[in-house]
Amino acid sequence: MNYIVDENKNGERIDKFLVGAMDNVSRTDVQKLIAAGEVKVGGATASKNFRVETGMVVVVDKIPEKESSTLEPENIPLDIVYEDEDIVVINKPRNLVVHPGNGVSKGTLAAGLLYHFKENLSTVNGPLRPGIVHRLDKDTPGLMVVAKNDVAHRHLAHQLETRTLHRTYNALVWGCPRDLEGCIDAPIGRNPKNRLKMAVVKGGKESRTHFVAKEFFSFATLLELQLESGRTHQIRVHSRYTGHPVVGDPLYDGREDSLNRVPPLMKPVAEKVLEIAPAQLLQAVKIELIHPRTGKLVKFKVPMEEPFSKVLKLLKKECPASAPVFDEDEGFRDFDAQIRFDEGVKDYDEYAEYDDDNPLCITPEEACPVKVRKTRAERKAEKAATAASRRAKAAERKLIKQMKAARKRGIKSEDFVEPGYEPTIDPDLQ
């Protein structure tokens, strides 16, 4: 099959070009064809990084055979947040696999979508993933967008690629991150020691996770996160990499492995938290996208799921934001949950997930009063002054000890210290 490059496709990567030119193929399908040498330009085999130019003829020797569908519709209840002729926004519950794979063939979200929407789903990702644009882990609840036709699917996939589709997550992590906001930039790939896990590895895929601290407790912090990339287990892996695993995460040291970081008096509360948490306390709470048909920005959000909200209520009661939090540099101190770095950051008040009638709401008004926080330079200067004071006191104690030893040996104090000079010490005493 021959495909001619139009002027508007000039400079595109060849895999992206073919995904748009061919019917019912995914980028994965195209990349497999390229790796097998089935894609040629000018008689030469094309590489995966090849960029097409206007007028070029791209030859595909073999059209990929689409996988026959073994997916059977199942009457699985769906929490539909929004629906129109192009997209469906679903609040996926915990303990639901998105699509078949890894030994799971039944009881998936894909089977439920097929039951409820029948043929009104996109086919871009194949028969086993009807309408599926992106995914969530089995034990991660929250918002997902589903495409009802191929045009909408390609539009949403392009938004994911260009980062104009924003997914916002809430996660409760162990400990207190050093920064109130920031970006975790670390490549992710398969864990070489355990193929069932992912890890930050050299040569992994580029991965970035942005975070903002929303609420502090004595041994945990509530974070709001956004993904710049979409790697498997990305938030869970990055959290573990920074030393703050997601609370309840059974795969990345988020359960009993992290209890040793909890102060003894707070361990009963931490153990209670793990009893409540069925798995990782991570939820996709908000999604923003450009509607494929109207071109308008639309936003959707959902409240916290019950286990997550129950844990937050317990922490707010037993160890609220005013509780002392351990910092590696400053020791235990009081954190202010309202402190934000305002430059370049949106007003997070507009993202309040709940109203006054919802007792599970986490709002700045519920946090401790605003306090004046010292700058980094001021804290550094205080630390230097404290260290100098300790050294001076130690020197004084050492001098007193030496003078006592001198008196025992019959050395007079006037012979030991000369007025107007720094103290001198008998060489025999050193």
Active-site positions?
Answer: 137
How many angstroms from the chain centroid is the CA of residue 310?
Answer: 22
Kind plus residue range of the DSSP H or E element containing 155: helix 150-162
For residue 236, the model assigns a pLDDT of 94
Residue 113 to residue 132: CA distance in whole angstroms? 9
Distance CA 318, CA 269 (A): 7
Q: Which residue type sits at 93?
A: P
Cα–Cα distance for residue pair 270/264, rounded to 1 Å = 10
- Between 306-318 and 267-276, two packed helices, what is the crossing angle to 10 degrees? 170
Say what the pLDDT of residue 196 is. Answer: 82
- For range 78-88, the mean pLDDT: 94
Half-sphere exposure of residue 338: CA atoms within 13 angstroms, side-chain side: 13
pLDDT tens string 199-238 = 999 888 899 999 999 999 989 999 999 988 888 899 999 9
What is residue 338's predicted lDDT score, i.e. its pLDDT? 37
Written as six digits, the tokens of 137 are 């882990």
d(CA 248, CA 211): 19
pLDDT tier for residue 241 given thresholds of 50, 70 and 90: very high
- DSSP E strand boundaries for 231-315: 282-290, 297-301
Identify the pLDDT of residue 330.
44
| Angstrom distance (rounded) from CA 319 to CA 168 | 26
Taking the CA atoms of 260, 265, 269 and 271 in sequence, report the sign of the dihedral they define. positive
In angstroms, what is the C-alpha Rg of the chain?
Answer: 30
Residue type at 189 in one-letter notation: G
The mean-pLDDT minimum among 34-38, 172-176, 293-297, 308-312 falls in 34-38
Q: Which domains does the chain have, with CATH numbers?
A: 2-60 (3.10.290.10), 80-162 (3.30.2350.10), 166-366 (3.30.2350.10), 376-429 (no CATH)
Query: Which amino acid is residue 316, in one-letter code?
Result: K
248 backbone dihedrals φ, ψ, rounded to 5°:
90, -5
69 in Cβ contact with 276 (< 8 Å)? no
Q: Would you say the pTM of this structure is higher than 0.75?
A: no
DSSP state of 128: T
Please count the residues of the chain: 430
Enter the tokens of residue 356: 């006054």
What's the number of CA atoms in the CB half-sphere (13 Å) around residue 102? 8
* Distances, alpha carbon 255 to alpha carbons 146, 307, 325, in Å: 32, 15, 20
* Residue written as token pair 């922490």: 315
- Residue 364's pLDDT band (cuts 50, 70, 90): very low
Share of the chain above pLDDT 90, in %: 40
In angstroms, the Cα distances linking 126 to 64, 98, 401 are 12, 14, 82
Per residue in 321-352, pLDDT (tens digit) is 654 444 444 443 333 333 333 333 333 333 33
Degrees to nearest 5, angle at CA 70 with 64 and 74: 135
CA distance 325 to 177: 10
Do the beta carbons of residue 404 and residue 426 sit within 8 Å?
Answer: no
